[in-house]
């Protein structure tokens, strides 16, 4: 894609799943990528795998999205590794607790607000001064719950929806500097997160996990789960020159799951 090769990207929560899929695609297009995650063994292994697969070195940090001092260190380390602050900020998250609303504690809410909303605010504030001089792309990776809330997903639906609105405001305020800010709402993607949810439902309903998977697929017109790299391709497109006039939108990538057409 035009406008990717030689650029720099920071991708959060990228030691596995969707974050790693995004990093893999960007690196394959010639983007210098810095990833981070809180598990040092997993993120170092992911960086090694991606570097070997794409032939383009991927650097990494160990950091927790809920800790501001960790995030500040990530920006310093990524600047050292990449030679500059990132042109592309890809904000992906760990997953908040899945549980009925009344089972969620104040600690669950505090942790998830730090994980999703406050980390987003910090990373965008840290990136904008650089992007205001050089242009840039911000992409928030949310979920289908921003468009169609699900039972037991109060944390995800409310906080990721806040991020979608934040992205829109950023696009309104900073577009004149050559910055675009968009979000994506992905559907069922085959990751460890999806497997954990399926396993939990399998145990609760006392049915085989394959039955849970088939039931989930039956709600998707495409009749399959997405792949992390398919999310990566959309993110790469949003970062490319071809998407320079796409700004302030939330894009669905869900195999047709969301029924509302607008």
With respect to residue 1, please indicate whether it lies within any of the assigned structural domains.
no
- The answer to whether 104 and 154 have CB atoms below 8 angstroms apart is yes
The domain tally of the chain equals 2
Angle between helices 119-134 and 68-82 (to 10 degrees): 30
- Quote the CA–CA distance of 227 and 132 in Å, as a whole number: 33
| pLDDT tens-digit readout, 44-66 | 999 999 999 999 999 999 999 99
Q: What is the pLDDT of residue 149?
A: 94
How far CA 242 is from CA of 75, 175, 236, 238, 246, in Å, comes to: 27, 16, 10, 8, 9
Q: What are the structure tokens assigned to 140, written together?
A: 């928030």
Radius of gyration of the chain (CA): 18
What's the maximum distance between 2 C-alpha atoms anywhere in the chain? 56
pLDDT under 70: residue ranges of the chain: none
| pLDDT tens-digit readout, 66-111 | 999 999 999 999 999 999 999 999 999 988 999 999 999 999 999 9
Task: For residue 23, give the CATH number of its domain.
Answer: 3.40.50.720
pTM of full prediction above 0.85? yes
Q: What is the pLDDT of residue 44?
A: 98
Do 159 and 43 fall within a single domain? yes
Q: What is the pLDDT of residue 261?
A: 84
With respect to residue 20, please indicate whether it lies within any of the assigned structural domains.
yes
Do 181 and 203 fall within a single domain? no
User: If 0-12 CB within 10 Å is exposed, 13-18 middle and 19+ buried, where does residue 26 land?
Assistant: buried
Do 113 and 202 fall within a single domain? no
> Which residue range(s) make up the domain with 43?
8-189+227-250
Q: What is the pLDDT of residue 57?
A: 97
């Amino acid at each position: 894609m035009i406008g990717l090769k030689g650029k720099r990207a920071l991708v959060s929560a990228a030691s596995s799943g969707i974050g790693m899929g995004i990093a893999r695609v960007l690196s394959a297009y010639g983007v210098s990528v810095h990833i981070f995650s809180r598990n040092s063994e997993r993120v170092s292994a992911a960086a090694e795998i991606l570097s070997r697969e794409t032939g383009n070195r991927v650097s990494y940090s160990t950091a927790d999205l809920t800790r501001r001092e960790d995030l500040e260190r990530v920006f310093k380390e990524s600047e050292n590794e990449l030679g500059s602050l990132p042109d592309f900020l890809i904000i992906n998250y760990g997953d908040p607790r899945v549980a009925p609303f009344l089972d969620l504690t104040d600690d669950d809410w505090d942790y998830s607000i730090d994980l999703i909303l406050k980390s987003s605010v910090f990373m965008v504030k840290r990136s904008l001064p650089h992007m205001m001089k050089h242009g840039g792309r911000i992409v928030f990776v949310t979920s289908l719950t921003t468009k169609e809330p699900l039972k037991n997903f109060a944390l995800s639906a409310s906080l990721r929806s806040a991020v979608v609105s934040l992205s829109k405001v950023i696009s309104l305020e900073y577009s004149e500097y050559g910055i675009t800010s968009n979000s994506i709402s992905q559907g069922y993607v085959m990751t460890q997160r999806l497997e954990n949810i399926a396993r939990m439902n399998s145990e609760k309903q006392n049915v085989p996990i394959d039955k849970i998977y088939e039931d989930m697929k039956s709600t998707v017109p495409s009749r399959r789960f997405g792949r992390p790299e398919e999310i990566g391709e959309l993110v790469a497109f949003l970062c490319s020159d071809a998407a320079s006039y796409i700004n302030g939108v939330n894009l669905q990538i869900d195999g047709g799951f969301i029924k509302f057409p607008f």
